[in-house]
A = this chain, B = another copy of it.
Amino acid sequence: MKIVVTGAAGFLGRRLIQALLAREQLTDDAGQVQRIEQITAFDVVPLEGINDSRLLVQTGDIADAAQVEKLIQPDTASVFHLAAIVSGQAEQDFELGMRINFDATRALLERIRALGTGARFVMTSSVAVFGGALPTTVDDQQVWAPQSSYGTEKALADLLLADYSRRGFVDGRSLRMPTIVVRPGKPNRAASSFASGIIREPVNGVSAICPVAPETVLWLMSPDRAIENLVRGHELSKAQLSRGRVLNMPGLSITVGAMIDALRRVAGAEVAQRIAYERDPAIERIVNSWPGNFSAAYARELEFTFDEDFDSVIKAFVASNRLSEMSY
């Protein structure tokens, strides 16, 4: 089978491609296990550093219908759509956010509809679709009330995916991801970027700013669980998804203060002291609009995975961080 991954040069895209190449196979529409023959890795910049004869690296503009037409072919069995403009940037540049987070998703769904293949389509959505007055634990029946353009665009994409799936145009699955922590690399323009920064920077001997109060409750998922869940989202049969195509993922509910306590336990007091609180109202407004805990009952029934404790998340980051240092 042939697979397309958008946002392939991003952190999750790269890891997903590595996982798929290692896995070697996926289940198709008919429930049959199929060998992965080709993965097209699409992004604005080329995916680099993975050598594999099954990998085809392409670059382009994912919101350009002509590019999408070339990218998605009659033999494309599955698409993992990860390309996105992060929350902070989508708030600053409204047109860019709408173009990438919504119009590009629509172009991909439209291409599959035009082909008539009903290809499987796994997408990442976000807890940023929620906002306003919220219960302590958000259940699967909670109304969407995005307080950011990013959250709005993800909700728009979720609605489209659900209707295209209901009509049989695509076989869509949208996973509402918690904040992914710990991301490697540099800070980005996501409002949640600090949630990785306050672990990653101190571990790497660098000071970090925490722009929100220690009581702030976050809903987290580690990169390892995110990749497992993307594959799980693909592997579920249509019959298993009878209660809808948009799934609030399970996660770990934890305060920022408890995250820093865990860092102190795992990496020592000296490391944890590299964090300074310096509150940023723009970031706090967005982050505080996101729920800190979800029941995620539907996704739990479907055996999506989650992190049991934050100490293990930090330990996994420290281990993979050492590995990537060694590779340079």
Contact = CB atoms under 8 A, between A and B. Distances in A.
B159 A152 contact: yes
Interface stretch (A73-81, A137-145, A207-215): A137-145
Contact of A162 (B146, B159, B162): B146
Interface of A: 94, 132-133, 140-147, 149, 152, 155-156, 159-160, 162-163, 166-167, 243-244
B156 A162 contact: no
Contacts of A140: 143
A149 B160 CA distance: 9
A167 B244 CA distance: 31
Contacts of A167: 94, 149
Given A132-B244, A243-B132, A244-B132, A152 B143 contact: no
Which among A140, A141, A147, A167 has the highest number of chain B CB atoms within 10 Å? A141
A219 to B, nearest CB: 17
A319 to B, nearest CB: 39
A143 B248 CA distance: 12
B155 A159 contact: yes
Contact of A160 (B142, B144, B152, B163): B152
Contacts of A141: 141-143
Nearest to A147: B166
Given A142-B143, A146-B163, A156-B160, 7 more contacts: A94-B167, A145-B162, A145-B244, A146-B159, A146-B162, A152-B163, A155-B159
A244 B162 CA distance: 24
Contacts of A132: 243-244
Nearest to A145: B244
Nearest to A155: B159
Contacts of A144: 143-144, 159
Contacts of A146: 159, 162-163
Contacts of A149: 163, 167
A137 to B, nearest CB: 13
A149 B243 CA distance: 17
A159 B160 contact: no
A92 to B, nearest CB: 11
Contacts of A142: 141, 143
Contacts of A244: 132, 145
A159 B150 CA distance: 12
8 nearest A-B residue pairs (beta carbon): A152-B163, A141-B143, A152-B159, A155-B159, A143-B143, A156-B159, A149-B163, A156-B156
